[in-house]
Amino acid sequence: MIANMELYKIFYQVAKAGSISKAAKELYISQPAVSQSIKQLEERLGGHVFVRSPKGVTLTREGEVLFKHFEQAYTLMRTAENKFWEMLNLMSGEIRIGASDTISKYYLLPKLEQFHSAYPELRIQVTNRTTPETLMLLRKGDVDLAVVNLPISTDTQYNICEALEVQDCFVAGVNDWHICDTPLSLEQLAHYPLLLLEKGSNTRHFIDNYMATHGIVLQPEIELGSIDLLVQFAMIGLGIAYVVKDFIGDELQNGQLREVPLLQPIPSRTIGIVTLRNVPLATSAKKFIDLLIEA
């Protein structure tokens, strides 16, 4: 049976010092306490670890073997403690983030640049998936946090923190600017060729649900996998694209796209940070979440 770790630490210091009195000074305990600890260790092990003499102590043959192996274990423990400290102080470790392509490019990228600049030793891993797929990765433990489009199901296993309010809109390219002259009803909008994200994304689910509350089922002309593609397809006149207005400021400002005005405005929604309720977060993940919330 393994003896008390404190006994081994005292044994280690005595062996290194070659003297019970020197070890007592280094350990800040009394000589009798050191002697008693060595006696307890020898009793538990069933043999002597030191040979005592007026000049101090030397290891027995058995004690030499014990010291050699304990020194290796002690070094590993010290290394483990140092690594733990480094992770607590963001000098090493990693952060695993799950997010969609759109959120990664337009929301996370500048934050990741700032975080990496502050903590260059941390490894950053980003996995791009739809919101449902990202939440599955979170539940499986493959990511530490998920940055997703809200709302999601209010599952009791999640901690959800709202981070950024965004506004969706429909946009048209130069060839379809005439559509933007007069506000459209949702019914009128539904008759135009629409460009939507593929089903499975939370963004698509949001607009489908909103339209359904008005008795409208959208039948898109084209379904694509990213906001970037929707923007490109709209700019060459292939349809009216449903996009996040906050993420296409440049295209709207330089006149490549125009927002289609609606009689019934689309409600805003939120990008949120999701973590597992009963799973402790690494220090790196906590720090990154703080950065997102502050921003």
Q: pLDDT-derived band of residue 1, with 50, 70 and 90 as boundaries? A: very low
How many other CB atoms are found less than 10 A from the CB of residue 258?
19
Q: Which residues pair with 232 in a beta bridge?
A: none
State CA 165 to chain mean position distance: 20
CATH architecture type of domain 94-165+271-294: 3-Layer(aba) Sandwich (3.40)
pLDDT tens-digit map of 94-148: 899 999 989 999 999 999 999 999 999 889 999 999 899 999 999 999 999 999 9
pLDDT tens-digit map of 61-102: 998 999 999 888 888 888 777 777 766 666 668 899 999 989
What homologous superfamily is domain 168-267 in, according to CATH?
Answer: Periplasmic binding protein-like II (3.40.190.10)
Q: pLDDT-derived band of residue 60, with 50, 70 and 90 as boundaries? A: very high
- Tell the residue number behind the tokens 């030191």, with chain if given: 50
Check if 5-88 and 94-165+271-294 are the same fold: no
Q: Are 230 and 197 in contact (CB under 8 A)?
A: yes
Cis previous bond, 261, omega within 30: no
User: What are the sequence ranges of the domains in the chain?
Assistant: 5-88, 94-165+271-294, 168-267
Task: For the domain made up of 5-88, give the CATH fold.
Answer: Arc Repressor Mutant, subunit A (1.10.10)
- Classify residue 139 as exposed, middle or buried by CB count within 10 Å of its CB (0-12, 13-18, 19+): middle
What's the pLDDT at 91?
63
Q: Could you tell me which residues come within 8 angstroms of residue 56 by beta carbon, excluding any fewer than 6 positions away?
A: 18, 19, 20, 22
What's the pLDDT at 204?
93
Q: How many CA atoms lie within 13 A of 244 on its CB side?
A: 23
What's the pLDDT at 209?
95
Q: Could you tell me which residues come within 8 angstroms of residue 36 by beta carbon, excluding any fewer than 6 positions away?
A: none
Q: What is the Cα–Cα distance from 262 to 130, expressed in whole angstroms?
A: 27
0.75 cut: is pTM over it? Answer: no
What's the pLDDT at 295?
63
pLDDT tens-digit map of 168-185: 999 999 999 899 999 999
- Take residue 61 and report the two structure tokens written for it: 């043959």
Cis previous bond, 110, omega within 30: no
Q: What is the Cα–Cα distance from 85 to 91, expressed in whole angstroms?
A: 8
